[in-house]
A and B are shown apart, each in its own frame.
Chain A
Amino acid sequence: MAVIETQGFKLDNSGRRIVVDPITRIEGHLRIEVNLDDKNVIRNAVSTGTMWRGLEVILKGRDPRDAWAFVERICGVCTGVHALASVRTVEDALKIKIPDNANIIRNLMHATLYAQDHLVHFYHLHALDWVDVVSALGADPKKTSELAQSISSWPKSSPGYFRDLQSRLKKFVESGQLGPFRNGYWGHPAYKLPPEANLMAVAHYLEALDFQKEIVKIQTIFGGKNPHPNWRVGGVPCSINLDAAGAVGAINMERLNMVSRIIDDTIAFIDNVYVPDLLAIASFYKDWGAIGGGISSKNLMSYGEFPDIANDESNKSLLMPRGAIINGNLKEILPVDLKDPAQIQEFVGHSWYKYADETKGLHPFDGVTEANFVLGKGTKGTKTAIESIDESAKYSWVKSPRWRGHAMEVGPLARYVIGYASGNAEFKEPVDMVLKKLDVPLPALFSTLGRTAARGLECSWAAHKMRYFFDKLMANLKAGNFATANVDSWEPSTWPAQAQGAGFCEAPRGSLGHWIRIKDTKIDNYQCVVPTTWNAGPRDAQNQIGAYEAALMNTVMAKPDEPLEILRTIHSFDPCLACASHVISPQGEEITRVTIR
């Protein structure tokens, strides 16, 4: 093909094609294809979502109060974010105001997810891109201890602790059964950590695996289980009872004490393990502050999150600001409105869906998602055994959302840059601290490293906000305010014949929006545009590339057959493909019918 120029990138697919499928250590199924020039530099990148479930048509005709449970099952990793967006959407449509306690408990549950999800991402989904497990075998436990104690006061740091761990690791490797570490890229020249840092990171990989399950118990206390806790339109399911008979069947002092203790432990773990590890590891990979930026230095968006005032989603209330940055202009934060038909639109020119006019985008209130699985003429292989895909045609189950026509990056980096540009000290000061500690300039933020660093800072921010929300809840209880539900509009008989609404959520991975139309007390249309759709989406009708594709451009690969560099950048977004590709036609056409046996 001819070279395509878009958004400052030159896409050239003439060189050697590399296919990575599956991309592992993500949620769901993703395929990445790139073309390399003769110096092993990525000159073309193709992101293909390889799964599609069709939840929105399943919602049609159902009780809007049930929607949260269906959409919650869009994703079990960022569990609860779709449920939160959904109850907000239904409440917006039916004009239901929730009590202050319900707002605080939702914020607390959501901040809990941020803390756990970011922690698991860093250690279990991302760390092995930077940490060489096999190299840890050659570490000196005493030096590892010195390293650990030089960066943190975390108590598990003695030479004996690291020696024991190393000897277990040795036995494990010597068994020949490497389990999840089998066929890893150990010894790859792009790994830069000294053996001691690797051993410390492996220790914390295991500690974090043990600890993350503690954090989510807060969701279990308020929502009954995790993953997939319970939410409810009009408030939260749990009641508060401090004094009366039967307090053991509700949120009581013992439960509150448990929440408080978990919050303390969470803050301690994140501030004494995650953040110091992040900075220590980053100091060996400063070059990644100039790699993988993609469109992050240009277009970023956040819907904002954590309303401090119940039922108020203005920036006066949102602790994490809402807004968009275009063309890298940090001086201006543009307002974002989910209901404005000119702002958020989805395109399907390169997605396996059909529009009457595919040069145009559709706002989610009018969204159409009719499957259309066709492959381009340049596809190598067959329809059911694709060797390489033809990106000049349709090539992904993910759509291409655009904000005022622009491809946008969403996620922790977007939120931190928007917070930074807003002059909010809660975001600005930690960013400046990291830049100073790593001795890198501000533009280093717009990179693979910047994304990973922003996530770590945000994890700490969320953990401290858990304490803030808890204290706020306790203040309400001291003042005698115990309400957790507004049941005025619970009964469908009280609803108008028709209603529509939109609900937002900043999920750990970025901006999530839901849109609903209710007719005669049932769901008439339901649409979701999710974070990974923004980031992983394919080209649009104008050939504008999405955030993943842009971020891979111009990266040098040390060993093209071992695609560590691709994994680093793609993982820095924390992909969630079940979220990205669940949509289907609101008309609910039959797709294909197959009978077996």
Chain B
Amino acid sequence: MTMTFYDVMRRQGITRRSYLKFCSLTAASLGLGPAFAPTIAHALETKPRTPVLWLHGLECTCCTEAFIRSAHPLAKDVILSMISLDYDDTIMAAAGHQAEAALEQTMKEYKGQYILAVEGNPPLGEDGMFCMPGGKPFLEKLKHVAKDAKAIIAWGSCASWGCVQAAKPNPTTAVPINKVITDKPIIKVPGCPPIPEVMTAVVTYVATFDRLPELDRQGRPKMFYSQRIHDKCYRRPHFDAGQFVEKWDDQGAKEGYCLYKMGCKGPTTYNACSTTRWNEGTSFPIGSGHGCIGCSEDGFWDKGSFYDRLTTIREFGIEANADKVGLAAAGVVGAGLVAHAAVTAIRRAADRNKTEADSSNRVEH
């Protein structure tokens, strides 16, 4: 069941020849001569699996549930062959002292080598005792394990942004982990929960290439979070044509029209749902008739009702190309297009503000 990196690559259909080529390229990209390729090949063939310590703060465990839904790779193969999941309270056999010992042992044996994965977040209120595994504040445990981690993954919207317990008025003063860990690289994988295959892709990317994926300004992997749901939505042509669902289960709903008027947040939500889709590509929220609620966005709980239209402001904005196409297709319909352009403009402005606010490291409350 234990496989080295090489075994995993072979299993994924990569030939020995391609594998050695990969090693040469790696040697070259690291600035080493071709003579080092065999060394790298040997290292990868015998490299132990990267230990992952998965902690749970204030959360609902939807991230773990999402993780085990991954189809490629299967969660089973990730856990047994690609990483070494040495601590995760949701699935580990040991409890109590034996569980805590597994955590401490791994931290010691793999100091600076392990990945910390965090599901949920720490509450700061009541000296942190709103979440007190082991009789101590979760915040303490989080900082303790973060200290010697190589890198940190923030699973889901709780660890990335705060999510539902941090929605106004945030009674426990729950904060995203980057507010309390400031000296380590953090990969944010937001979503409530994130897409299963996005989660395993991030883990296997790090384990395979031994580096962090390219991140955007907010710390999200660009490969999954650089485009809006709306950009690649299969219902987008109906938006551009001004064809909208006006009421639940009306003819437009039956024909798969755009859900913008039903409050869909796809135009302002950065995630891969409309491309990667959910549960092995089975569907995604818009595909099953409900608007996107924007669950991978910072503070999505506090941006008005999920059924409120994004905006009614009527003015032209940017993204001329997309709008021109739409305008040509439906000159008479106008309203939707105008709104769309406005959404884009407003979103950009909002992002600018958010980035500025983030850089000042503000804490809610």
Chain B CB within 8 A of A40 CB: no
Nearest CB of B to A99, in Å: 9
In the complex, the chain B residue whose C-beta lies closest to that of A50 is B132
Given contacts A221-B283, A222-B288, A241-B255, whether A180 and B92 have CB atoms under 8 Å apart is yes
Q: Give the number of residues in B that approach A within 8 Å (Cβ atoms).
A: 109
Mark out the residues of chain B between 105 and 143 whose CB falls within 8 Å of any chain A CB in the assembled complex: 105-106, 123-137, 140
Given contacts A58-B165, A75-B61, A246-B256, whether A66 and B125 have CB atoms under 8 Å apart is no
In the complex, the chain A residue whose C-beta lies closest to that of B51 is A177
B248-286 toward A: CB 8 Å interface, digit per residue (1/0)?
Answer: 110001111100000000000000010000111011111
Given contacts A227-B65, A487-B248, whether A213 and B133 have CB atoms under 8 Å apart is no
A224 touching B49 by the CB < 8 A rule? no
Nearest CB of B to A16, in Å: 15
Cα A384 to Cα B128 in complex, Å, equals 8
Given contacts A23-B95, A384-B137, A588-B171, whether A235 and B248 have CB atoms under 8 Å apart is yes
- Residues of B near A74 (CB, < 8 A) are 60
B46-66 toward A: CB 8 Å interface, digit per residue (1/0)?
Answer: 001101000010111111111
B75 touching A66 by the CB < 8 A rule? no
A20 touching B95 by the CB < 8 A rule? yes
Chain B CB within 8 A of A402 CB: no
Nearest CB of A to B83, in Å: 8
Chain A CB within 8 A of B290 CB: yes
B48 touching A51 by the CB < 8 A rule? no
Mark out the residues of chain A between 215 and 242 whose CB falls within 8 Å of any chain B CB in the assembled complex: 216-217, 220-230, 232, 234-241
B135 touching A385 by the CB < 8 A rule? yes
- Residues of B near A124 (CB, < 8 A) are 68, 91
**Max chain A Cβ within 10 angstroms of own Cβ: one of B48, B257, B279:** B279
Cα A185 to Cα B2 in complex, Å, equals 21
A584 touching B80 by the CB < 8 A rule? no
A596 touching B171 by the CB < 8 A rule? no
**Max chain A Cβ within 10 angstroms of own Cβ: one of B49, B65, B133:** B65
B195-219 toward A: CB 8 Å interface, digit per residue (1/0)?
Answer: 0100000000000000000000000
B290 touching A230 by the CB < 8 A rule? yes
Given contacts A21-B135, A25-B91, A485-B248, whether A217 and B254 have CB atoms under 8 Å apart is no
Counting residue pairs across A and B whose Cβ atoms lie within 8 Å, the total is: 360
Q: Give the number of residues in A that approach B within 8 Å (Cβ atoms).
A: 118
Interface of A is mostly: loop
- Residues of B near A222 (CB, < 8 A) are 288
- Residues of A near B283 (CB, < 8 A) are 220-221, 224-225
Residue in B192, B286, B305 whose beta carbon sits within 8 Å of that of A66 in the complex: B305
B62 touching A228 by the CB < 8 A rule? yes
Given contacts A212-B68, A224-B287, A230-B285, whether A181 and B93 have CB atoms under 8 Å apart is yes
Nearest CB of A to B58, in Å: 5
Chain A CB within 8 A of B346 CB: no
Given contacts A24-B89, A250-B253, whether A183 and B94 have CB atoms under 8 Å apart is yes
In the complex, the chain B residue whose C-beta lies closest to that of A571 is B95
- Residues of A near B42 (CB, < 8 A) are none
- Contacts A230-B288, A373-B126 aside, 15 further interface pairs with beta carbons under 8 A come to A25-B90, A29-B89, A53-B164, A65-B306, A75-B60, A76-B193, A125-B90, A179-B79, A180-B93, A184-B94, A185-B94, A250-B255, A384-B137, A484-B249, A567-B95
5 cross-chain pairs, A with B, having the tightest CB-CB distances, nearest first: A249-B256, A76-B62, A246-B255, A184-B93, A172-B1
